[in-house]
Amino acid sequence: MTSLTRKDVEIVASRAGLLNSNSQVTSYQFEPFSKLKNGILGQHQLLRVQISDPTLTSDTHQSFFVKSFSDESMVSGEALDAIIFEETHFYDKVLPVLLETCENQEWLPKCYLVQPEVLVFEDLRSQDLSIRESFPLSEMDIRSALSSLAEFHACSLVVQGQGRKQLTEIFPNAFKEKAYTNDHKFGEMMILGFKTIELMARKLGLDSNLVTGISRRVYESVRPAKDARVPNVICHSDLWKNNLMFDQSQPPKCVLVDFQLLRYASPSIDVGMLLYINSTPEFRRKLECQMIEHYYEALRHAILRSDAEIVVPSYEAIKKDWRKRRIVGMTYACMYLPGLYLKKEKLEVLMNDPKALDKWMYEDRFELISEAIDQDPVYEEKIREIVAELIEEEKRLLRDG
């Protein structure tokens, strides 16, 4: 349960524009955000607030989304401390600096209250934004997500261009690598992830000997780019489908949520993660070049719209960097999708049973994956496609030097 007080709720209501000299908060209550467990890295609730105003004939009701961190999180210790600091620091210190240069601010939710272990946001669900039930995402959805991602990345480039400083200099304690590191439990997850990729490749008759080299390459690729032609930006770093919310317009608006795993790196890391986790190999074979062009044009327009006197990175540099680093996105696909492709009933058990999820994250994923491969030819083919794609990409990079 969150520790918000009445005073906190009044601050939220005021910042949301609900209070004036005549109105007041008459009641508020917290509810579960959904029937099933939600929030692997935090706990989610709905805050419902009632506002009365004597000058109006009826009360105003408003809902807010509350994210809190507690001992019930699926991570603990240094890893939990890292994600709490990252997201609260982002909304409290980093985002205000980014938004000073950002005309379009619709790519993320409004945040009305930041406390050390509690964040209160606008309720996107009440605005008819939702996570897509269908998976993988449609071409239109992916284009919209790439546009929002480009707006986010452009903010980093404009701030850095105006101040002639990298964001790691402006915020030296932020954006520490949390996944590809040996510092805490997230590092254990990645080690297990690569071990699982090796086991999947072996079971499917693919060259599992290449996985060690892939691991070394990915750990190097997520570090900030050293080529001056390739800009580094704040990367979201967790762009799976549950962190992308869409409205019902055509084309849809996409809002990015959950800024907990930020890193400072090439934008190709985010683009690859978004594209490879949320689309199919067939989609990418047909449309990958178009998606990169779409992202680049959205990035360029966002930078130019800022009127900042900075150099827009060239498409050639972005495309070359993409070819070098897209293997990171392929690797994420091989780590995320074997779980997301499980049958619905098995996935729901996994996501709502703390012991099962803890085992999946830190101990053994291959048992469930191997069983699903043996029982479901469709699942086997999906896993084969993404693992084969990763292995072939490593072969290409070895050939190209």
Predicted local confidence at residue 43, as pLDDT: 85
Cis status, amide bond into 251, omega within 30 of 0: yes
Number of continuous H segments (helices) and E segments (strands) in the chain: 14, 9
pLDDT digits (tens, 9 = 90+) for 145-200: 999 999 999 999 999 999 889 999 999 999 999 999 987 778 899 999 999 999 99
Cα-only R_g, the chain: 22
Contacts of 153 by beta carbon, 8 Å cutoff, 6+ apart: 233, 234, 267, 270, 299
pLDDT (0 to 100) of residue 39: 55
φ, ψ (nearest 5 deg) of residue 220: -75, -35
| CA 327 to the chain's CA centroid | 18
Say yes or no to pLDDT of 373 above 80. yes
Q: What is the pLDDT of residue 174?
A: 96
Q: Judging by beta carbons within 10 Å of its beta carbon (0-12, 13-18, 19+), is residue 269 exposed, middle or buried? A: buried
Chain segment 1-23, per-residue pLDDT in tens = 568 999 999 999 999 999 999 99
Mean pLDDT within 248-270 = 97
Q: How confident is the model at residue 310 (pLDDT cuts 50, 70, 90)?
A: confident
- Asked if pLDDT for residue 262 goes beyond 60, the answer is yes
Residue written as token pair 């890893």: 79
pLDDT tens for residues 191-245?
999 999 999 999 999 999 999 999 999 999 999 999 889 999 999 999 999 999 9
Element (H, E) at 398: helix 377-400
Inter-CA distances, 189 with 78, 192, 219, 365, Å: 14, 5, 14, 10
Q: Average pLDDT over the chain, rounded to whole?
A: 93
Give the C-alpha separation, 351 to 360, whole Å: 10
DSSP lists the bridge partners of residue 120 as 66, 113
Confidence band, pLDDT 50/70/90 cuts, at residue 75: low
**Looking at the chain, how many residues does it have?**
401
Rounded Cα distance between 175 and 85, Å, is 10
3-state secondary structure of 244: strand
User: Structure pTM?
Assistant: 0.95
- CA dihedral of residues 228, 89, 37, 374 (deg, nearest 10): 20
Average pLDDT over residues 331-354: 92
